[in-house]
Structure 1
Amino acid sequence: MSLLSKFATVGGATLVSRIFGFAREMLMASALGVGPVADAFNLAFRFPNLFRRLFAEGAFNSAFIPLFARSLEEEGEEGARRFASEVFSTLFTVLSAVTVLAMVFMPFLVKTIIAPGLAVCVDDPSAGGAAISCAERYDITIAFSRIMFPYLACMSMLAMVSGILNAFRRFFAAAAAPTLLNFILIGVIGYALKTGADKQTIGFLMSWGVLAAGIAQLAMVVVAMRLAGFGVALKRPRWTKALKRLLVLAGPAALIGGITQINLFVGQAIASFKPGAVSILQYADRPYQLPLGMVGVAIGVVLLPELARALKAGHLREAQHTQNRSLEFALFLTVPAAVALFLIPEPIIRVIYERGQFEASATVAVAAVLGLYALGLPAFVMIKVFSPGFFAREDTRTPMFATLISAGANIVLSLGLFWLFSERGIALATTIAGWLNAGLLFLGLYRRGLWEVDRALLKRTLLVLLSAAVMGAALVFGLDQLSPWLSSGAGLHRELPALAGLVAAGMVVYFAMAFLTGAADRELVLKVARRGRRRQAAPVSKEAP
């Protein structure tokens, strides 16, 4: 299977998950809108979801896969099974203890880490008796957090099992597992809307749905692991040299790989000081997570094993080629996505969310945040490309410092800009921090001679920027021509086809420019197309007499 095919396998599964994630967010926006219950759910979910993104989407694998692969090669499958069982037993014990402690001390966690703004919240006397008080917001955030916190343990163990599957080049099950979360929450919200449940009841049902989804996802990858002929056993935890090495690598790797989610978590904690701001950030996060997840996660999961194998075999030229083509692939898809999300965020948000409890004023606020997030999209994907260059060499110290610097910058900028621009200031701070982190990682690789930029990458990057600029001009022109169909109140029957036509036209312009100018590797595309035709024709030829 080629590198591009592996990206497509993981990216395709992730794309399906993100599409259903859209459906989930659309239902949630319609049911809860921008308000205290939506804020409470998003605040409570962000904490365990942060660890899902840190571990399940490649960061844990960054430390686990090289050590597991080495154990598999040097000690055989029995040695690899012993190492995996040691990790699983320790992980299970630690996570069980952390979960119990978190459930007990959740009021403290909410007040100091998850939502510090609720601790200083003051009720608005003009809001009337129907409004949810600050005390109620605080209480339901604690309740939601307690219900959902065990999801963290499920996702952490899922990450380890996913690492085993990825080491055996079984990428699909781990990439497809997050879809279960969306399926279950879509069902829960649909049931709640059908029965006419109030907003707080919907929030509680969704919280239990998250927990059920965590258990289902873990079960899915465990079954896939067993089908792959591998298994782990729960034993008494033991402190071993291999386990110590894993922990030394895993901590920084989780920090580095999850910088995007850490920045978002910090942003939401600061946003808790303004009612509604948390929900605005969350709703804006979903559209830009689609390209980030499809491209970034695929690269993060696939690139590390490929680099590790090339370096272990001493194929340095192959490693350099893999890095350059991965960055090329990332820019080819994320630059036009960033341009589109920056130029036309309002009609996108209107079509996705504006119905039910989600009002036109919320569309404007969410669109402004999405446009600022979009500017950082290429940087966040580039982080996924640059990080494996360090991880494959078992170097987590250098990128950890880069991540700490950018995280510190994000906190400082978020605190300063929030009081000037509200939630838009947090989005801008997140974007600036993302570019700072990507820049520091690239400089670290380049100065140590671990990344040689080839001429093909430079040429295609410039051509991608040119193609995206032409596409952007076409989008601005199309937005002006279709404004009566895309304005608030036009109706979904007009907005949806108009937006679909605008996006389709932008894609046609971009890909046409990319192929005409050479921004896309035409030979590679034709090679993949020919390979696909040969695969389709193969069964027919075998059945011929």
Structure 2
Amino acid sequence: MLRALSTVGGFTMMSRILGLVREIFMAAFLGTSIVTDAFYAALRLPNMFRRIFGEGAFNSAFVPLFGRELAEGNPEVAHRFARNAFSWLGGVLLVATLVIIPGMPWFAKLLVPLAEPDTYVLVVAYGRIMFSYLLCMALSAHLSGVLNTVGVFSMPAFAPVLLNVLMLAVLGVLVPLAHWQGELELIGTAVSWSVCAAGFAQLLLLWVSCWRRGIRIVPVKPTLTPRIRRLMLLMGPGVLAAGIQQVNLVIGTAIASSQESAIGSLNYADRLFQMPNGMIGAAFGVVLLPEITRLLRGGNELAANDAIGRGLLFSMLLTLPAMAAFVVAPAAFVGPIYERVQFSAEDTLHVSRTLAAFAVGLPAYVLVKVLQAGYFARENTKSPMKIALVTVSVNAVASLALFPVFSFVGIAMATSLAGWVNVVLLVHGLRGSLGLGPKRRKQLVRTLLAAAAMGAVVYVANHALEPWFTGVQWQKVVAMLLLVGVGATAYALIAMALKATSIAELRHGFRR
């Protein structure tokens, strides 16, 4: 499992690093302006529908069904099912695209009801450019599910890199060459078109990857077969769960739209938060679902539970130190990465507080990916839906309660609280199937102690490096790298000393 995780995690790391570089350019050219708020609010709309109808709900239902056909030795039947599902998904989303693009002014009003008129106009303009991204990315998610089920993880993990490459081409090449610095609205328009182009590029890349492996995914006349009916039945709770979860984002964006620069600040903090969350959480989610599905299809319940247990242990081993570092020294990461030109020291303060609030929920959101695989592999999408109802309610109520007190930092706090509520409820539903024996429970406790000790080391080192963090840009970057090095070294030594893990265990995991 860990070998596949390293492949997915490696390419995801590449994507996240390029995404961070992209955000550095966004911060330099746009700062936390109304153009930044408008761009990210507009991008929220296609991302919202993509997560409802695409990667989450669709693949959580599709992958087990597709995997079952392959396990039963019916590759041609499986491929026909994949083509039919592709056509159904594409048809539904094409209709949605044709309806929403002309109706963008109405949808934008729902998304940013409290925004200033200038911001609202930009949200509509950018939203119309980027909404076709939904169609491409949902279909790309479907092709990724097909490839992951047949054991191909590298290309689906690489595909998101294209979005960052194209956006960087605009921000790092086109903007300087065309001398658009200072033309904020024009930069926003150009970046929006790069998002649209990236959607088509990713879809083409994954389609070619499937074709080369003999999987001919082409549009066909959608037919309502028994397998499609089963897919829709399983998708129903997933769509509702994803839709309910997206209500949180809409509420958060709507609340944040009442304060200028809030949406941009939340996004910059979220980008750093998504570095470990994306690399670790997404990797575990992608790899675990096909593996647990395969084990359950083979009647190996104990091995499936063991896979979940290993996933829980290793995910915490990787995310707890990241959480500790972001909580005790958030400005040490925000300042060196973002602070330049349009991004001020005051922006660094706001984003740092938001990052610390997000970071408290970092382990939770990675755990959710691991735990949900245990439900989806058993074709159980109803339980996660019911749990989503509870967590969304917690998030919405907490956001509304905390925003007046903590401003947009309260939205990040509510997100973390909802994540932990989600974990508690998912664990309760999987009791007896978690693969956490006495040894692993002790390792989890030791991992928590090692991360806490590392946090103390990082806190002290951060204060020792304070003169460098207040120096010129190169000094800030060097200080950040030194802090990361000190933290990583301390954590590795403490974790080994406490026997939270061992070299032998890590080697065994990667061989598997």
Structures share fold, TM-score greater than 0.5:
yes
Distance 1:255 1:184, change over 3 A: farther
Partners of 2:339 and 2:345 within 8 A in 1: yes
Looking at structure 1, the residues matched to 228 and 134 of structure 2 have their Cα atoms a distance apart, in angstroms, of: 21
2:436 counterpart residue number: 453
Pairing 1:479–2:431 present: no
Distance 1:5 1:515, change over 3 A: same
1:24 counterpart residue number: 22
Partners of 2:281 and 2:366 within 8 A in 1: yes
Partners of 1:264 and 1:430 within 8 A in 2: no
Distance 1:56 1:344, change over 3 A: farther
2:357 is paired with a residue whose SS is helix
Offset at 1:409?
Answer: 1.2
Q: What does 1:55-66 align with in structure 2 at a 5 Å threshold? A: 59-66=57-64
Distance 1:158 1:366, change over 3 A: same
1:356 is paired with a residue whose SS is coil
Decide which of 317, 339, 363 is 1:378's aligned counterpart: 363
Distance 1:310 1:527, change over 3 A: closer
TM-score normalised according to structure 2 size: 0.96
Decide which of 8, 11, 32 is 2:9's aligned counterpart: 11
Partners of 1:387 and 1:399 within 8 A in 2: yes
Looking at structure 2, the residues matched to 280 and 365 of structure 1 have their Cα atoms a distance apart, in angstroms, of: 7
1:164 counterpart residue number: 146
Partners of 1:44 and 1:145 within 8 A in 2: yes
Looking at structure 2, the residues matched to 484 and 203 of structure 1 have their Cα atoms a distance apart, in angstroms, of: 36
2:34 counterpart residue number: 36
1:151 counterpart residue number: 133
Offset at 1:99?
Answer: 0.1
The AA in structure 1 aligned to 2:151 is R
Mark the runs of 5 or more structure 1 residues left unpaired by the alignment. Answer: 119-133, 533-545
Decide which of 220, 229, 250 is 2:205's aligned counterpart: 220
The AA in structure 1 aligned to 2:452 is A
Looking at structure 2, the residues matched to 507 and 251 of structure 1 have their Cα atoms a distance apart, in angstroms, of: 43
Q: What does 1:346-385 align with in structure 2 at a 5 Å threshold? A: 346-385=331-370
1:129 counterpart residue number: none
Looking at structure 1, the residues matched to 132 and 73 of structure 2 have their Cα atoms a distance apart, in angstroms, of: 34
1:304 is paired with a residue whose SS is helix
Write the deviation string for residues 195-235 of structure 1: whole angstroms up to 9, x where unpaired: 22200000000000000000000011111101111112312
Partners of 1:63 and 1:246 within 8 A in 2: yes
Pairing 1:511–2:496 present: no
Offset at 1:528?
Answer: 6.5
2:500 is paired with a residue whose SS is coil
Partners of 2:140 and 2:203 within 8 A in 1: yes
Q: CA RMSD in A?
A: 1.8
Partners of 1:328 and 1:457 within 8 A in 2: yes
Pairing 1:109–2:134 present: no
2:402 counterpart residue number: 417
Distance 1:301 1:261, change over 3 A: farther
Looking at structure 1, the residues matched to 247 and 6 of structure 2 have their Cα atoms a distance apart, in angstroms, of: 27
2:378 counterpart residue number: 393
Pairing 1:185–2:150 present: no
Q: What does 1:235-250 align with in structure 2 at a 5 Å threshold? A: 235-250=220-235
Mark the runs of 5 or more structure 2 residues left unpaired by the alignment. Answer: none
Offset at 1:477?
Answer: 0.9
Pairing 1:428–2:413 present: yes
Partners of 2:22 and 2:164 within 8 A in 1: yes
Offset at 1:273?
Answer: 1.2
1:94 counterpart residue number: 92
Offset at 1:358?
Answer: 0.6
Aligned-residue sequence identity (percent) comes to: 42
Looking at structure 2, the residues matched to 457 and 309 of structure 1 have their Cα atoms a distance apart, in angstroms, of: 23
Partners of 1:60 and 1:163 within 8 A in 2: no
Partners of 1:296 and 1:381 within 8 A in 2: yes
Report which stretch shifted further, 179-188 or 41-50.
41-50
Offset at 1:20?
Answer: 0.2
Offset at 1:179?
Answer: 0.4
Looking at structure 1, the residues matched to 91 and 53 of structure 2 have their Cα atoms a distance apart, in angstroms, of: 17
Partners of 1:63 and 1:250 within 8 A in 2: yes
Offset at 1:507?
Answer: 0.4
2:101 is paired with a residue whose SS is helix
Distance 1:259 1:9, change over 3 A: farther
The AA in structure 1 aligned to 2:493 is A
1:538 counterpart residue number: none
Partners of 2:55 and 2:138 within 8 A in 1: no
Offset at 1:252?
Answer: 3.0
Pairing 1:501–2:482 present: yes
Offset at 1:31?
Answer: 0.5
Looking at structure 2, the residues matched to 149 and 355 of structure 1 have their Cα atoms a distance apart, in angstroms, of: 31
Partners of 1:56 and 1:162 within 8 A in 2: no
1:121 counterpart residue number: none
Looking at structure 1, the residues matched to 138 and 274 of structure 2 have their Cα atoms a distance apart, in angstroms, of: 21
Q: What does 1:221-300 align with in structure 2 at a 5 Å threshold? A: 221-253=206-238, 263-300=248-285
Partners of 1:51 and 1:155 within 8 A in 2: no
Q: What does 1:188-199 align with in structure 2 at a 5 Å threshold? A: 188-190=170-172, 191-197=174-180, 198-199=183-184
Offset at 1:58?
Answer: 5.2
Q: What does 1:321-360 align with in structure 2 at a 5 Å threshold? A: 321-360=306-345
Looking at structure 2, the residues matched to 188 and 522 of structure 1 have their Cα atoms a distance apart, in angstroms, of: 44
2:421 is paired with a residue whose SS is helix
Q: What does 1:302-313 align with in structure 2 at a 5 Å threshold? A: 302-313=287-298
Offset at 1:319?
Answer: 1.1
Offset at 1:457?
Answer: 1.6
Offset at 1:246?
Answer: 1.1
Looking at structure 2, the residues matched to 252 and 416 of structure 1 have their Cα atoms a distance apart, in angstroms, of: 28
Partners of 1:54 and 1:254 within 8 A in 2: yes
Looking at structure 1, the residues matched to 219 and 54 of structure 2 have their Cα atoms a distance apart, in angstroms, of: 20
